[in-house]
Amino acid sequence: MTARSSNTRVGQEQAWRARRGHQRTVAAAALLIGLVVVLTVPPGAEARAQTQAEAYGAGGAAQAASFGLRPGWDADAVLAAVGAVAEVEPLMGASAGVYRAWPRAGGPAALATRLRSLDGVAWAEAPRPVSAYAAPNDPQFWDQYHLLRLQVARAWETSPGSAAVTVAVVDSGVGPHPDLEGRLLPGLNLIHASTPNDTGDLNGHGTALAGIIAANVHNRTGVAGIAQRVRILPVVVLDESGVGNDQDAAAGIIWAVDQGASIVNVSLGGQWPSGALQAAVRYARDQGVVVVAAAGNDSQPGVRYPAAFPEVIAVGATDAGDEPLAYSNSGPEIDVAAPGSSIRTTGFFDTALHEPTYRLVSGTSFSSAAVAGVAALLLSRNSSLTPARVEQLLEDGCRDVGPAGWDPQTGAGRIDAASSLALLEGGSSVGDVTAPRSPDGVTTFVADNDESARVSLTVSLHADDDRAQVEVRRTAGRPARSTGEGGLVAVLDAPPGDQELHMTDDPVALGFTPGSVVYFTAFALDGVGNVSNPVWAYAYLPGGEVEASPMSSEVVSAASTFRDVESGHPFAKAIQALAAQGVVEGFSDGTFRPDATVTRAQITKMVVLALGWAPVEPAPGARATFRDVPVAPGYPYAHVEAAAVAGVVNGLSGTQVPGDARLLFGPYQPVSRVQVARMLSRAGGEKLDLPPAGIVLPFYDLADDAGEEVAPVWEMGVVRGRSATGFAPWSSATRGQVAEMLFRLETVLASRP
């Protein structure tokens, strides 16, 4: 095997980088095309341009019909017939045989019907809507279950949010936080009279609310807010302990209204009615401002004030399973509910560490912020909506998650952004289009003995899910990307709850042939057929043409090679296989020590031995590639030099000295997870696939240049993150982790021609 050539590598990296920027490029190109159309109307086409301009609706969608010609017909005669009732032009030239027609009277649907009756017209249709896929690249988006429950990505297709909408957060202040950069307006501090302009958050409560409402979206950072581009107006009425009084809260509401706020979120309250607070919320309502407030977290009947006032949208809390939270206050004043348990959002910005922080928060405070965010989407779409109309749209779009009809814990139900926006557009409430959460993982184990081989497949599931079943499919060559790909292994009933689904079956029945690699991909499906993202693992069946290879049945048997790596150890199979090949060794006491760290020289030797490269023995007068790996027989020089020649290892940047441009290698330094991933990617070379177009690595802590090189081994399942969104790139890699990754690479390469 050889490493990927540098030219090929550069080309693939450029393609990967280009794909990552595809959506931005398309958007820019679309804008440019629009400008060209305006500037290049040909002479004599003014009348047609006017007809076309009038045919565009307020939303900018062309109100023209499109049609195609039947083969063999006189194109000029057909176009003349169409031209009698509409203005006609080819769609991007006539080469594709597609034309667009602007009606001189009536709409495009009526014109399409008329065109279909003409001889020589093969088909005709009115314009049909298409939209960009709205799932953002914020790495923790898929951990924000509340966005999935509220169908926020679907709602963005109609109303992503507008900077013309301002949401006042009357709370403990906001920020600073990079995920709120550009979202914050100058606010007011009513707690500290000496610093009225200081609206920074010393408690954290307000920052969490602001992130739920309007954290920046599509910025490859942290979390996503519900309402894109919406502005946050911070009003400080709570101190460092989260305590304030009703008069300051009332003053904050009135001030926010006078500053032009569209929505006021009040995630605070008291046990007793307050004349000051009621006057403030009445003033806001009279000025056309929506007021949203939290019901309270006292685990009892009795909604807190100001949520209990009729002028306010009172919000209760639900959990990830759409069950009412036990501590969410209840009462006849509850209007709607929203997720309020373990909501991932913005935390403090640690200026000492220079990195953003994120946190999980729970309570009706954060349910209120979610409702304020959805209200902001409605007002972004139609700024003339009254508070009463906003409340009605929120209630009518709710999912009835409690007892049938209104109930004192969830009111009209759990809000749904997509449904409320559909109602605003004059349609009906949309069905559930939120995909269930992916299974937590898929693991496989091949047990082999003299009599038979069995494949054990385990699918691990998370409690916070609305799935109804799990579908497992098998493929060869690569994992399945959809439920229609590959062979169906099983459809398993999978109600919500932490659980594992186990299958053990004859390998032949599962699609194996001896010596083959088969991928098992699991999809979760909910009750209406929405499908989760795939989760997969591969399994290798010994035998066949590769019986004599190091990965034989003898190697992957259940017998333990080292006394601290028993058969149930997660890395047992990999360690046993590599030990049989001589790639890894144990210690004199019979242990492997899988949790011990690995040095850069050790991982280099393992890669060279695993891929079967010949170590480089010293030649007379040879000069080492790295200053700190001197020319000498055997380890580490022979292996480090072989890997350097293959382009698999690099030195430590910035370690040159005057008169010697060579770098240091750091052979005895611990190797990090990202360094291992990069080495394995280079070692795998062209036998590794890049992710499909549109797939972006989910790791928020992986720099772009590292991500481009890690992408192939991530795509092939050789390396994985520490969590769904974190790679932990600079954590030291352990002996067990390296063995597992290297064995996966061997398995993938063995399956490739």
Which residues form the catalytic set?
171, 205, 365
Question: Rounded to the nearest 5 degrees, what angle is found at the Cα of 645, between the Cα atoms of 644 and 649?
Answer: 20
Q: Are 471 and 491 in contact (CB under 8 A)?
A: yes
Phi first, then psi: what are they for 62, rounded to 5°? -65, 130
Residue 408, CB half-sphere, CA atoms under 13 Å: how many? 11
Residues in the chain, overall count: 753
Structure letter (DSSP) for residue 708: H
Percent of the chain that is helix, strand, coil (3-state, to 5): 30, 20, 50
State the CB neighbour count (10 A cutoff) for residue 309.
Answer: 20
- Output Rg (C-alpha) for the chain, integer angstroms: 31
Alpha-carbon dihedral sign for residues 696, 700, 701, 705: positive
Q: Are 65 and 108 in contact (CB under 8 A)?
A: yes
User: b/e per residue, 664-680, with b = 16+ CB within 10 A?
Assistant: bbbbebbbbbbbbbbbb
> Residue 117: which residues within 8 A CB-CB, separation 6 or more?
none
CA distance 658 to 660: 6
Do the strands 188-189 and 231-236 form a parallel or antiparallel pair, or are they unpaired?
parallel
Do the strands 121-125 and 98-103 form a parallel or antiparallel pair, or are they unpaired?
unpaired
CA distance 253 to 271: 19
Copy the structure tokens of residue 533: 């993202």
Which of 503, 502, 507, 518 has the alpha carbon at shortest distance from 453? Answer: 507
Structure letter (DSSP) for residue 447: E
List, in sequence order, every beta strand (DSSP E) within 310-354: 313-318, 336-339, 343-350
Q: Which helix (H) or strand (E) holds 744?
A: helix 735-750
Residue written as tokens 């974190």? 726
Q: Which residue type sits at 588?
A: S
Which of 293, 295, 260 has the alpha carbon at shortest distance from 379? Answer: 260
Q: Are 726 and 661 in contact (CB under 8 A)?
A: no
Residue 747, CB half-sphere, CA atoms under 13 Å: how many? 30
Copy the structure tokens of residue 718: 């050789």
CA distance 71 to 67: 13
Q: Are 390 and 375 in contact (CB under 8 A)?
A: yes
> Residue 490: which residues within 8 A CB-CB, separation 6 or more?
471, 472, 503
Q: How far is CA 457 from CA 442, 445, 523, in A?
A: 7, 7, 14
DSSP string, 104-156: SSS-HHHHHHHHHTSTTEEEEE-------------TTGGG-HHHHHTTHHHHH
> Residue 72: which residues within 8 A CB-CB, separation 6 or more?
none
Cis bond leading into 542, ω under 30°? no
List, in sequence order, every beta strand (DSSP E) within 449-601: 453-461, 467-475, 487-493, 499-505, 517-526, 535-540
Whole-angstrom distance between the N-terminal and C-terminal Cα of the chain?
11
Phi first, then psi: what are they for 313, rounded to 5°? -80, 110
Copy the structure tokens of residue 239: 């101190």
Copy the structure tokens of residue 226: 């519900």
